Structure 1
Amino acid sequence: MGVGSGLMEKKIMAELDGRCSELDAEIDKNGKVTVPVDFFDLTVGSVINSLLVGKRFDENSKDEFLKIKKMFDDSSETFNLFDLNVPVWFLKWVLPWRFRITWDARQNILSHVGKEAVERFQKLKDGTYDLDSEEPKDLVDCFLAKMRSENEKGQDGHPGYNMDALKLVLHDLWLAGQGTTATSLYVGFLKLVTHPSVVLKIQKELLKITQKSPSSRDLTLQDRPNTPYLNATIAEIQRFTSVLNVNFWRINDELISFRGFQVPAGTMMTAQIGALHVNEQLFENPDEFDPERFLRNEKLLQQLIPFGIGKRSCVGEQLARSELYLVLGNLLLRYDIRAHGALPTNMDVFPYSSAKLPDTSGKFEFRKIQKT
């Protein structure tokens, strides 16, 4: 699907260029543009939507996306560790209002991502869609090609490749690929506008490698080895944000003794990622936004696990890292950023919840940086 390749980088940059052209048109008229959180949601959402179903969110479809995103955010604010530890039937019959908020959001996302898959599958059956198994254009094509291959095997084919499974895969990847990265970018800009010295250091570093005769160029993923300060800033943003505070749940098979505590077999447990990221024994002054901590001690990067670790780590880690680097870096290359009005103040790190959704009322002002 192009993740980790030049194709994925092209998709990210094509979407960023499209969004920036809209910003530039407004700047050309008024000298500046106000950028709300929707900008980050739409940019990241379009990348994952293009990857999954081959379509970006334009003027005709962005309202649909923002409506679904609002439902998902409302669901996330309601959903917590309690919901993870009780049976679905209990929520459905004892706490129906909690169940309905989460269920409605899930069904709307399934409907959105599943619509294109169902339509394409029908065209494939009718013979009106040309499916290229060698060069699929998105995940739907990949899955449909696999479905066709398995069906041709008859009884030996894997029964798990069906339309219901495809819609669930699209649902899970759409959620995983959208919310956390967009939130990290938004929180990152909240921190950057209040730390202008960090912005200046990043811009100086980026200009040094992109502003070369005869003209300037965009930042690329190949520039990573030459941008230590930007890399450190992204690491600090991820440490500070820790959107998903808990890793996947696990159940131990046998009695465990841990630091004097006896944990019986069959206990459900998880790692508190957010708590690790504010551990004072690892990160000195954890409430301070300090990218240079990762330059002073490069071993700290080994303690930073925003995507989890091991076999159950985030499947979209490579995509998310690419988006954070390209979007953040190229926006700082193109624009002077400032706060627009008062910024949210409740940005403290709360390490002991299942997820953290920041106050999204913050807005930014972008002005063009003149390049040679």
Structure 2
Amino acid sequence: MSLIDKKHGPVFTVWFGPVPTVHITDLEIAQNAMIKQGANFVDRWVPLLFTLPRNGFGLITSSGKVWQDHRRFSQHTLRNFGIGRNIIEEKIMEEFNLKFDEVDRQIQKSGCHIVDPQPLVEVLVGSVINRVLFSESFDNSNDYFFVLKENLNKSLSRLTFLDTFVYKFMLSFPFIRGRYEEILKPFYQLKDYFRNQFQQRQVPILHAPITNLLCAGFSKARVESGKHVLEGEGRDYVDAYMIKMMEEMKGNQEETTFTEEALLTNLLDLWIAGQETTTMTVLSGIINLLNYPEAMDKAREEIKRVTGNNRPLSLLDRPTTTYFNATITEIQRLASVVNFNLWRRSSENSNVGGFTIPGGTTIAAQLSVLLSDSDHFKKHNEFDPSRYLKEERLDQHVVPFGIGKRSCLGESLARAELYLIIGNLLQRYQISAVDELPSREPMTPNGVVRKPKPFLFSLFKIM
């Protein structure tokens, strides 16, 4: 995309078979379209690959009333459960301490510990989002979690840009159908896992869809053991959703968009987005810190000074950790987890960068190009947190969570996780590469997502 941008300018069309797709690679033009004209660029153009496991539901691919209702509900619910507030810090730090207790025990035995960070970070981040959704954590004994994650990792690694332009008639070819079935299998497995979690809250003798339960007079006595009480806001996202369904039923909302299938698809989107992107960003951040030890040491020294090195780093420290804030921004910029962004569909004619874009056009702002724009980020491949301290408002050009009305719902949670996990890791441990520095090149440079290559690092306790 960046090569096309240099040749044809910041707004250009790429034809994928019969589908013309418009791409924006300039931040100001993207913001003008997606924010100032935001209502015109809310709906999605959805590839078959993303449609099959979602059936028009979910927070990522839905449009119209389904998307509006569930976006509004999810924003409200996540805010109530502490996303964007300090309440979420307690959950993140509880999981951080639990997951690193075993690391500390190993360090006590041998003085240092060599770690494959991927499963460690996956179970930590997975536990945080799972607590928000289901009030349950994971640990190393959760074999099924690691099976799900391994299958999902393989699927995402196989996924390429061209897979998004497979059409339904192509599934009649055995090779293409078989490839799609393998890629999508983990997504259906995840939905089955969520369905099982959900059904554990239903009356054992009924095992009926939630709509039937509501019709039968659903009450808090029918939720297992009183663990999940369907009143107020509930304890987690699933509770809140069930309460919302009860309200819709009482109000005789025959056209309600709140259904069991919609819930399961929301959970799929929230779990994958809350798990995959943050995990890959943390791993990419560790790789860059190991490759740029001066930046790592400078961030650590600032954290030690701000905390007095006698307490964990807290979200309340953000105003005084100027260099570390810049470090997190640079980690996000270089992680650039999504190689290309999902398209939106314009609802009416509009002007984008001086071009008339007809209604019904497939269009997207390509964040990966924006995050590597050499006009704003000199030596853009280098890890340099100080660039944000030298140039005022440069950080505003780092937009990893998207632009406009369809920007990432979990932005506040992800920012909190990155700050607390990486910050407390640096404060608590001296980390170093094993044998050789980990590669900064992604394992899947041409995939839908940029997964970091596997690596090991050693930890030595310093706090």
Measured at CA, do residues 343 and 115 of structure 1 come closer, stay the same or move farther in structure 2, by a change above 3 Å? Answer: farther
**Alignment CA distance shift 1:156-1:264 (3 Å):** closer
**Aligned position for 1:150:** 248
Match of 2:236 in 1: 138
Percent identical? 36
1:205 matched to which residue of 2? 302
Q: Structure 1: how far apart are the matches of 2:223 and 2:379?
A: 61
Q: Supply the distance in 1 between the matched residues of 2:123 and 2:151 (Cα, whole angstroms).
A: 15
What is residue 430 of structure 2 aligned with on the other side? 336
Corresponding residue for residue 33 of structure 1: 113
Q: Distance in 1 between matches of 2:236 and 2:282?
A: 25
For 1:228 and 1:150, the matched residues in 2 are separated by 46
**Which of 350, 372, 387 matches 1:278?**
372
Alpha carbons 1:15, 1:43 under 8 Å: kept: yes
CA drift at 1:135 = 4.8
Show the 5 A alignment for 1:168-317: 168-211=265-308, 216-253=310-347, 265-317=359-411
Which secondary structure state, in structure 1, belongs to the residue aligned with residue 149 of structure 2? helix
The verdict on how the C-alpha distance between 1:91 and 1:99 changes in structure 2, with shifts beyond 3 A counting, is farther
> Closer, same or farther in 2 for the Cα pair 1:167/1:252, shift >3 Å?
closer
CA distance in 1 between counterparts of 2:171 and 2:202 reads: 33
Work out the CA distance in 1 between the residues paired with 2:245 and 2:321: 43
How far, CA to CA, are the matches of 2:334 and 2:418 in structure 1? 14
Aligned to 2:60: none
TM-score by length of 1: 0.90
- 1:337 aligned counterpart, secondary structure: strand
* 2:145 alignment partner, one of 59, 65, 80: 65
Give the corresponding residue for 2:83: 3
1:127 matched to 2:222: yes
| Alignment partner, residue 207 of structure 2 | none
Counterparts of 1:350-369 in structure 2, within 5 Å, are: 354-359=448-453, 361-369=454-462
From the superposition, tell whether residues 281 and 47 of structure 1 become closer, same or farther in structure 2 (CA, over 3 Å): same
**Given the alignment, which residue of 85, 100, 104 partners 2:165?**
85
Task: Please give the alpha-carbon distance, in whole angstroms, between the structure 1 residues aligned to 2:84 and 2:295.
Answer: 28
Question: Could you give the per-residue CA deviations for residues 272-319 of structure 1, whole angstroms, max 9, x where no partner exists?
Answer: 111111111110000111111111113111111000011110000000
Q: Does 1:43 align with 2:124?
A: yes
TM-score of the aligned structures, taking structure 2 as reference length: 0.73
What letter matches 2:246 in structure 1?
R
Structure 2 distance, partners of 1:363, 1:332, is: 16
Q: Secondary structure at the match of 2:393?
A: helix
Structure 1 residue 198, shift from structure 2 partner = 1.1
For residues 104 and 349 of structure 1, the distance between their equivalents in structure 2, rounded to whole angstroms, comes to: 22
Question: How far 1:6 moved relative to its partner?
Answer: 2.7
Q: In 1, distance between residues paired with 2:98 and 2:447?
A: 36
Q: Which has the higher contact order (CA 8 A, sep 6+)?
A: 2
Contact between 2:434 and 2:456, CA under 8 Å: does it hold in 1? yes
- Quick one: structure 1 residues 309 and 28, their matched pair in 2 at CA, closer, same or farther if it must change by over 3 Å? same
Distance in 1 (alpha carbons) for counterparts of 2:254 and 2:88: 31
User: Which whole-Å deviations, capped at 9, do the CAs of 1:195-253 have from their partners, x for residues lacking one?
Assistant: 111111111111112126xxx11111110000011110111111101101333312235
Secondary structure of the 2:202 match is helix
Aligned residues: 363
Confirm or deny: 8 A CA contact 2:430 2:461 kept in the other structure: yes
The alignment status of 1:102 with 2:195, answered yes or no, reads no
